[in-house]
Amino acid sequence: EVHLVASGGDLVQPGRSLRLSCITSGFTFGDYAMSWVRQAPGKGLHWVGFIRVKAYGGTTEYAASVNGRFTISRDDSKNIAYLQMNSLKTDDTAIYYCTRKMAPDAWGQGTLVTVSS
């Protein structure tokens, strides 16, 4: 069974950084692109970005709203994906979901990030 567990969410001040982790199991991690999707309280889904598999260079794409501030990485030896978030803004407050594939076919439970002074 596919499992995705996101962690690392916290209350942080604007301008600070935070790193989220996504621990996975139940599938061959290195064979799949991984994405992050967020959902602000009471709002819709917002695609954050994704990382390709190593065979496709492990390159990344990001939504315009986070490009230059957020970085997605992966450790295929540990089956973990990461989301490094810098220069956080209050608008980044959301539940962050770790998902499998660029067009998600499996979702973790999400971790809450609150950006507030």
Q: Considering only residues 108, 111, 113, 115, which one is a binding residue for other proteins as defined by CB under 8 A?
A: 108
Measure the CA–CA gap between 57 and 36, rounded to whole angstroms: 18
Q: Find the DSSP H helices in 2-115.
A: none
Indicate the SS3 state at residue 106.
strand
Nearer to other proteins, 46 or 80 (CB): 46
- Tokens (6 digits) for 32: 């799949």
Tokens 């973790």, located at residue: 108
Nearer to other proteins, 21 or 46 (CB): 46
Which residues are CB-contacts of 26 (< 8 A; sequence separation ≥ 6)?
Answer: 1, 2, 3
- Taking CB under 8 A as the rule, does residue 46 contact other proteins? yes
Judged by CB under 8 A, which stretch of 15-23, 73-81, 86-94, 104-112 contacts other proteins? 104-112
Judged by CB under 8 A, the chain residues 2 through 41 that form the site for other proteins are 35, 37
Q: Considering only residues 45, 75, 78, 84, which one is a binding residue for other proteins as defined by CB under 8 A?
A: 45
Measure the CA–CA gap between 31 and 96, rounded to whole angstroms: 22
Judged by CB under 8 A, which stretch of 7-15, 24-32, 56-64, 84-92 contacts other proteins? 56-64
Which residues are near other proteins by CB under 8 A?
35, 37, 44-47, 50, 61-64, 97, 102-110
